[in-house]
Amino acid sequence: MSENQQSLWQFMIEQSDKLLNQTLQHLGLTFISLFFAVLIGLPLGILIARKQKLSGSVLAFAGILQTIPSIALLGFMIPLLGIGAKPAIVALLIYALLPIIRNTYTGIVGVDPSVREAAKAMGMSAKQILFKVELPLAMPVILAGIRTATVINVGVATLASYIAAGGLGEFIFGGISLNNTNMILAGAIPAAILAIVLDGLLALIQNLNFKKLRKILIVVPVAILILSGLYLLPKAYGNSLTAGFTPEFMGRQDGDLGLKSVYGLKINTIVISDAVMYKAAFEKELDVISGYSTDGRLKAFDLTILKDDKLIFPPYYAAPIVRESSLKKFPELESVLNLLAGKITDAVMTDLNYKTDQLHQSPEKVAKDFLVSQNLFKVSKNSKGGIVRIGSKIFGEQYILAEMYKMLIQGNTNYQVATKTGLGGTKICFDALVNDQIDFYPEYTGTGLLVLLQPNAEFAKKIAHDKNQTYQYVKDEFKKKYQIKWLTPIGFNNSYALMMRRKQSKDLGVYTITDLKQYLDNNK
Amino acid sequence: MISVKQISKSFGSTFAVNQVSFEVLEGESLILLGTSGCGKTTTLKMINRLIVPDSGEITIHGKKIYEEKPEILRRNIGYVLQNNGLFPHYTVAENIAIVPKLLNWDNKKITSRINEIIEKLHLPESYLAMFPSELSGGQQQRVGLARALVTDPSILLMDEPFGALDNVTRSSIRKEFKALEELKRKTMVMVTHDIHEAFELADRICLMDKGEIIQIGTPKELLYQPVNKFSEDFLASEKLSLAFKVASLNDIWDFLPASDHETPNIISSTENVWDAMEKLQTQSRLGIKNESGDQKNIDFDQLTAAFSQYQKNPVS
Ligand SMILES: Nc1ncnc2c1ncn2[C@@H]1O[C@H](COP(=O)(O)OP(=O)(O)O)[C@@H](O)[C@H]1O
Ligand SMILES: [Mg+2]
């Protein structure tokens, strides 16, 4: 534990530049969106307090907005606003809206009617009543709403990194992908502290008496504005092309770190989620992205892979990895899973992915069509045997594979199947397997080596480029360490790849990563 | 002068106020009296346009109240509410300064006038920086009154101004109120459901029931010439103590014995019998002086004897 703490501390010191940047961005994002949420929510709250007939529908609408899952909301924003700060701010603002509207409304409606009547009877105009009586008296309630909104925003802002808006989510999600606890904590702890500190500060203000509140109220908007400004600070754009890399890619030796050390690539980089990265490249928000070589979107968005001429991306051959205890429990499982072994090439996988991602066919249909074409499909026996639990990570290819395995098991054995698809990143999926929450899931040799086993860098480098050595090593080590068996690889190699728009690649004459480096060096 | 002609107001299907007319003369205090829900508040609020009548007409100093902006109208009419309606987020001083600020008085004038008014209302200067929540109910009510009086408006509207107070505070504050120089010149309309309060403070009483006026008249007229059974029954239970209150010492002057036992405690013959009786609880004799300077010195028994004589044939 103490060792762990120390190394967390070391990690934070080591990454203090990034940490400070991310924290400032996080604060900035939180407060810019809060600022706009107040700008919109406060007048709306006042309006519905005046016209109470509207209150039901406005509050219900703001309530519905708030129930949209954050990731989905961020996803919706991309076609409208692209990636980066704008959509993130709008999404955060939408989440902050409900507590502000609702509390403004409640606060104003809750003002003692005899005070309001006295104000009117003394000859105050409607505007004077609003600004001198209703708003000041509702202020503690409104501040409570702002407080809730702030805490929500600090939390949701961690997701902003999905769409390249920065913030502490870069560490958190990078850490989850990389199975790097220190990295997760380096993002999560400051985010939690921010939430607690801001909550505490606003609680203090909210509980002040009227006399002190009056002075503070001038300070609050100024503070919000200044804090909003923080977001603009860390932006320093350099050269002509912009890269968008996933948080996972950013922290990996066989990712951004390798690009820097082996190729000496210096490109202006923003961190973005895999879910929106391809589209952003297509829409020219990004020029270079870190994709996967079998991704269907490669085909859909007409992207091309830059050749890894210095071989920094290790092979990622997919194979099901299964608990040995499960293989004992389900004796027929291994042979059934191996039915798929060697059956799917890179091109086939890209095509299958294209069908789900772009043609919006269900993974089920795509899986079934493929099995039928390979004469592997058998109608489910609908048996009542033991339940095999299949896991998958949260992207299309894994869904398809999970469906195929499901059909194979149901058609060939007496087992029943439960699928636990969408288990987030590698770490979540793998933890589920180790902790006996699932029986197997498809994993990639490169991931097994570099993310899960993490042997020393020297050794990893040596074997990482040989597909057989890598497979043998992970197979042996998983058996020893985790009692997990790697079955025969499925065939395709879903490795990392740098991609560009095909047209841009041609226009710039950039076909390899070395070409890219040279282009960047020449166009500073 | 306030003139109310045939005003009516209904909320949904209930007639809160129905065809009500009355006049309040310059410097007069008219009290709207009646049980809860009879339409007193509604009537009062129509005078400063907090409520808009369905029909009828109200003029103040001969001018229709709908001819000017409601804010302007209200700034020139003092208004006191039952629950005082003080701004909880304003200090006492700021509360009192609300209307002067709306009228754009300069700060110096506001300060000096605030000091003047709180002195008259027996509010210590140390209260000025306090918030209403730090004061007792009686003190809050005084602040509410100070707030209504600070600009010295010629008209004052009051809705159960003592209603939220306990009985003891209530009668003592009422006495002070009655003695206030500041109020003597005011044209006042006040609402109450308390018969004694009405009889102590009113020049004329307007007795209401179910949104309509039953009788308007001086306290004596109401007591001795009720227009109908409702009027009579309304006062029946309090009739004797009200009789003490409506009879002035002048009224019973002729029945008082002349006497030469001088006493240092002298009151005017315009005071009522009730007050004189109260004074004779704590002292054995009382000197009464009338307008022409004659003085009679009496004790409690002589006072009650004279009152019984008068009661046989009261004049109204
Ligand atoms: N805003 C309102 N909405 C509906 N009914 C009202 C409203 N104000 C008063 N009333 C009704 O009008 C009648 C007279 O009310 P009010 O003038 O307040 O009586 P009072 O002051 O004599 O107690 C009552 O029946 C009351 O319920
Ligand atoms: Mg009332």
CATH number of the domain at B234, please: 3.40.50.300
Q: How far apart are CA A393 and CA A438, in angstroms?
A: 12
Instruction: Report the amino acid identity of residue B254.
Output: D
- Helix residue ranges, H only, A243-318: 247-250, 256-258, 274-282, 296-300
Question: Could you tell me the CA-to-CA distances from B290 to A206, B152, B252, B261 in Å, in that order?
Answer: 64, 32, 12, 17
How much is the average pLDDT of A243-268?
Answer: 83
How much is the average pLDDT of A406-417?
Answer: 94
Q: Which of B243, B260, B291 is the last residue of a domain?
A: B243
Task: Identify the residue whose C-alpha is closest to ligand 1 atom 17.
Answer: B39
Mutate which of B7, B8, B11 for ligand 1 pocket (most atoms within 8 A of beta carbon): B11
Burial (CB count within 10 angstroms: exposed 0-12, middle 13-18, buried 19+), residue A8: middle
Among the listed ranges A151-155, A456-460, B133-137, which one has the minimum average pLDDT value?
Answer: A456-460
**Beta-strand relationship, A303-306 and A268-271:** unpaired
Q: Is the pLDDT of residue A238 over 60?
A: no
Mean pLDDT of chain A: 87
B88–A125 CB contact, under 8 Å: no
The whole-angstrom distance between A144's CA and the closest CA on chain B is: 18
A115–B71 CB contact, under 8 Å: no
Residue bearing the bigger pLDDT, B162 or A227? B162
Q: How far apart are CA A34 and CA A363, in angstroms?
A: 40
Q: Domains in chain A, start-ordered, CATH in brackets?
A: 2-232 (1.10.3720.10), 242-313+497-522 (3.40.190.120), 318-494 (3.10.105.10)
For CA atoms A264, A269, A273, A277, give the dihedral sign: negative
pLDDT of amino acid A49 = 94
**H or E stretch covering A496:** strand A496-501
Same domain for B36 and B17: yes
Same domain for B272 and B216: no
pLDDT of amino acid A86 = 83
pLDDT of amino acid B214 = 96
Percentage with pLDDT > 70 across chain A: 96
Which atom of ligand 1 approaches the CA of B17 most closely? 14
* pLDDT band at residue A233 using 50, 70 and 90 as cut-offs: low
Q: Is the pLDDT of residue A236 over 70?
A: no
Task: Give the bridge partners for B266, in sequence order.
Answer: B287
Same domain for B267 and B190: no
Pair of tokens at residue B32: 């709207």
CB A367 within 8 A of CB A456: no
Task: List all residues 6 or more positions away from B116 whose beta carbon is below 8 Å from its beta carbon.
Answer: none
Q: How far apart are CA A513 and CA A467, in angstroms?
A: 21
pLDDT of amino acid A213 = 73
Pair of tokens at residue A446: 């490169």
* Predicted model pTM: 0.72
Pair of tokens at residue A22: 């991310």
The whole-angstrom distance between B148's CA and the closest CA on chain A is: 8
User: Helix A2-14 to helix A181-206 angle, to the nearest 10 degrees?
Assistant: 80
Q: Which of B224, B243, B262 is the last residue of a domain?
A: B243
Nearest CA in chain A to B87: A115
For CA atoms A262, A267, A268, A269, give the dihedral sign: negative
A122–B79 CB contact, under 8 Å: yes
Closest ligand to residue B35's CA:
1
pLDDT of amino acid B10 = 96
User: Which chain B residues are within 8 Å of A120, Cβ to Cβ?
Assistant: 50, 74
* pLDDT band at residue A138 using 50, 70 and 90 as cut-offs: very high
In angstroms, how far is the first alpha carbon of chain A from the final one?
Answer: 46
User: Which chain A residues are within 8 Å of B86, Cβ to Cβ?
Assistant: 115, 118
Instruction: Report the amino acid identity of residue B148.
Output: A
User: Which chain B residues are within 8 Å of A126, Cβ to Cβ?
Assistant: none
The response to whether residue B16 sits with its C-beta less than 6 Å from ligand 1 reads yes
Domain count across chain B: 2
Q: Is residue B105 part of a domain?
A: yes
Q: How far apart are CA A386 and CA A331, in angstroms?
A: 11
Q: Is the pLDDT of residue A181 over 80?
A: yes
Among the listed ranges A240-254, A275-289, A295-309, B246-260, which one has the minimum average pLDDT value?
Answer: A240-254
Same domain for B264 and B196: no
Q: Indicate the DSSP class of residue A386.
A: P
CB A126 within 8 A of CB A108: no
Same domain for B282 and B255: yes
How much is the average pLDDT of B93-119?
Answer: 95
Same domain for B256 and B177: no
Asked if A122 is an interface residue toward chain B (Cβ–Cβ < 8 A), one would say yes
Residue-wise pLDDT tens digits, A9-36: 888 887 888 888 889 889 988 998 999 9
How much is the average pLDDT of B122-150?
Answer: 92
Residue-wise pLDDT tens digits, B140-160: 999 999 999 999 999 999 999
The whole-angstrom distance between A42's CA and the closest CA on chain B is: 20
Cα–Cα nearest to A350, from A407, A408, A296:
A296
For CA atoms A239, A243, A248, A249, give the dihedral sign: negative
B85–A117 CB contact, under 8 Å: yes
The response to whether residue B39 sits with its C-beta less than 6 Å from ligand 1 reads yes
How much is the average pLDDT of B235-262?
Answer: 87
Q: Is residue B316 part of a domain?
A: no
* pLDDT band at residue A524 using 50, 70 and 90 as cut-offs: low
Task: Identify the residue whose C-alpha is closest to ligand 1 atom 2.
Answer: B11
User: Which chain A residues are within 8 Å of B102, Cβ to Cβ?
Assistant: 122-124, 128
Task: Identify the residue whose C-alpha is closest to ligand 1 atom 3.
Answer: B11
CA A84 to chain centre: 13
3 state DSSP class of A285: coil
CB A296 within 8 A of CB A351: yes
Question: Could you tell me the CA-to-CA distances from A35 to A82, A100, A230, B20 in Å, in that order?
Answer: 21, 11, 13, 54
pLDDT of amino acid A6 = 57
Among the listed ranges A107-111, A130-134, A186-190, A293-297, which one has the minimum average pLDDT value?
Answer: A293-297
Same domain for B103 and B212: yes
The response to whether residue B14 sits with its C-beta less than 6 Å from ligand 1 reads yes
Q: Which ipTM value was assigned to this complex?
A: 0.89
Among the listed ranges A94-103, A248-257, B113-122, which one has the minimum average pLDDT value?
Answer: A248-257
How much is the average pLDDT of A76-86?
Answer: 78
Same domain for B177 and B139: yes
pLDDT of amino acid B20 = 96
User: Which chain B residues are within 8 Å of A112, Cβ to Cβ?
Assistant: 83, 85, 88
How much is the average pLDDT of A137-143?
Answer: 92
Residues with CB under 5 A from ligand 2 (ion): B 41
pLDDT of amino acid A111 = 95
Q: Is the pLDDT of residue A239 over 60?
A: no
Q: Is the pLDDT of residue B52 over 70?
A: yes
Among the listed ranges A373-387, A392-406, B160-174, which one has the minimum average pLDDT value?
Answer: B160-174
How much is the average pLDDT of A58-87?
Answer: 82
Q: Which of B98, B99, B133, B141 to mutate to test the interface with A (most CBs of A within 10 A)?
A: B98
How much is the average pLDDT of B80-98?
Answer: 93
* pLDDT band at residue A226 using 50, 70 and 90 as cut-offs: confident
pLDDT of amino acid A235 = 47
Provide the b/e sequence for B168-184 (b: ≥16 CB within 10 Å). ebbeebbeebeeeebbe
Q: Indicate the DSSP class of residue A511.
A: -
How much is the average pLDDT of B11-24?
Answer: 94
Cα–Cα nearest to B267, from B281, B280, B254:
B280
Q: Is the pLDDT of residue A126 over 50?
A: yes
Same domain for B287 and B154: no
B72–A123 CB contact, under 8 Å: yes
Among the listed ranges A299-313, B12-26, B162-176, B200-214, which one has the minimum average pLDDT value?
Answer: B162-176
Q: What is the 3-state secondary structure (H, E, C) of chain B?
A: CEEEEEEEEEECCEEEEEEEEEEECCCCEEEEECCCCCCHHHHHHHHCCCCCCCEEEEEECCEEHHHCCHHHHHHCEEEECCCCCCCCCCCHHHHHCHHHHHCCCCHHHHHHHHHHHHHHCCCCHHHHHCCHHHCCHHHHHHHHHHHHHCCCCCEEEEECCCCCCCHHHHHHHHHHHHHCHHHHCCEEEEEECCHHHHHHHCCEEEEEECCEEEEEECHHHHHHCCCCHHHHHHHHCCHHHHHHHHCECCCCHHHCCCCCCCCCCEEECCCEHHHHHHHHHHCCCEEEECCCCCEEEECHHHHHHHHHHHHCCCCC
Question: Could you tell me the CA-to-CA distances from A490 to A102, A291, A340, B136 in Å, in that order?
Answer: 54, 20, 6, 84
pLDDT of amino acid A334 = 95
Q: Is residue B111 part of a domain?
A: yes
User: What is the strand order of the sheet B187-192 is part of?
Assistant: B77-80, B155-159, B187-192, B29-33, B204-209, B212-217
A123–B87 CB contact, under 8 Å: no
Q: Which of B42, B71, B140 to mutate to test the interface with A (most CBs of A within 10 A)?
A: B71
Asked if A121 is an interface residue toward chain B (Cβ–Cβ < 8 A), one would say yes
Q: Indicate the DSSP class of residue A317.
A: B
Same domain for B266 and B193: no
User: What is the strand order of the sheet A387-391 is part of?
Assistant: A416-420, A387-391, A440-444, A318-323, A484-486
CB A496 within 8 A of CB A292: yes
Domain that holds residue B15: 2-243
Q: Which of A122, A135, A139, A212 to mutate to test the interface with B (most CBs of B within 10 A)?
A: A122
Cα–Cα nearest to A172, from A288, A262, A271, A238:
A271
Q: Is the pLDDT of residue A149 over 50?
A: yes
- Helix residue ranges, H only, A259-395: 274-282, 296-300, 324-329, 333-337, 346-357, 363-373
φ, ψ (nearest 5 deg) of residue B208: -120, 155
Same domain for B232 and B263: no
φ, ψ (nearest 5 deg) of residue B80: -125, 130
Task: Identify the residue whose C-alpha is closest to ligand 1 atom 27.
Answer: B37
Cα–Cα nearest to A26, from A88, A77, A113:
A88
pLDDT of amino acid A122 = 96
* pLDDT band at residue B260 using 50, 70 and 90 as cut-offs: low
The response to whether residue B206 sits with its C-beta less than 6 Å from ligand 1 reads no
Q: Is the pLDDT of residue A234 over 60?
A: no
Same domain for B222 and B265: no
Q: Which of B47, B87, B155 to mutate to test the interface with A (most CBs of A within 10 A)?
A: B87
Q: Is the pLDDT of residue A1 over 50?
A: no
User: Which chain A residues are within 8 Å of B91, Cβ to Cβ?
Assistant: 211
Q: How far apart are CA A320 and CA A401, in angstroms?
A: 9
Q: Which of B200, B221, B243 is the last residue of a domain?
A: B243
Q: Which one of A114, A125, A213 has the shortest CB-CB distance to B85?
A: A114
* pLDDT band at residue A372 using 50, 70 and 90 as cut-offs: very high
3 state DSSP class of A513: helix
pLDDT of amino acid A151 = 93
Cα–Cα nearest to A114, from B85, B316, B145:
B85
**H or E stretch covering A245:** strand A242-245
Provide the b/e sequence for A172-208 (b: ≥16 CB within 10 Å). bbbbbbbbbbbbbbbbbebbeebbeebeeebeebbeb
